[in-house]
Structure 1
Amino acid sequence: MTPGQVFTVAVIGGLAAIVGLALGVGLALGLYLLVARLMDAVEERQEQRRRRRDSDTCRAIFALPTTDHPTE
């Protein structure tokens, strides 16, 4: 191989490595963002369920039959 051909092959290999690394970083970042959004959605759902349980508890307490206490 001539020095020009060796240089061309080296440049192609270097560019392929750069593109591969960029795709790898992009994939890792995309997966990270996906997992982060899923975790946020799960936490939000758990918070909504906790608030609903608290609300249901309050409604149940208010629905209890109570006697009127005499006023002093």
Structure 2
Amino acid sequence: MIVVALYNLKGGVGKTASCVNFAYLAAKDGYKTLLWDIDPQGSATFYYQAKPKNGQGIKKLISKDSNLDNAILATE
């Protein structure tokens, strides 16, 4: 499994655009790809025009009571 994470404290430096494009290219090359948008603004989710299933935030999503499979939303 390959894991790629982008991080920067400064806003507006292209983190979301880079992540969205990395995910797109990986999926296009046949890799199973998960783009996890944990930004409170939900910018990566906006790129894919997806409607999140879980409106309770990341704390609920990663709790022991939650199943990550239920939170994954397939896009094209």
Q: Give TM class, smaller chain.
A: under 0.3
Which one has the largest radius of gyration? Answer: 1
- TM-score, with structure 1 as normaliser: 0.28
User: Whose helix proportion is higher, 1 or 2?
Assistant: 1
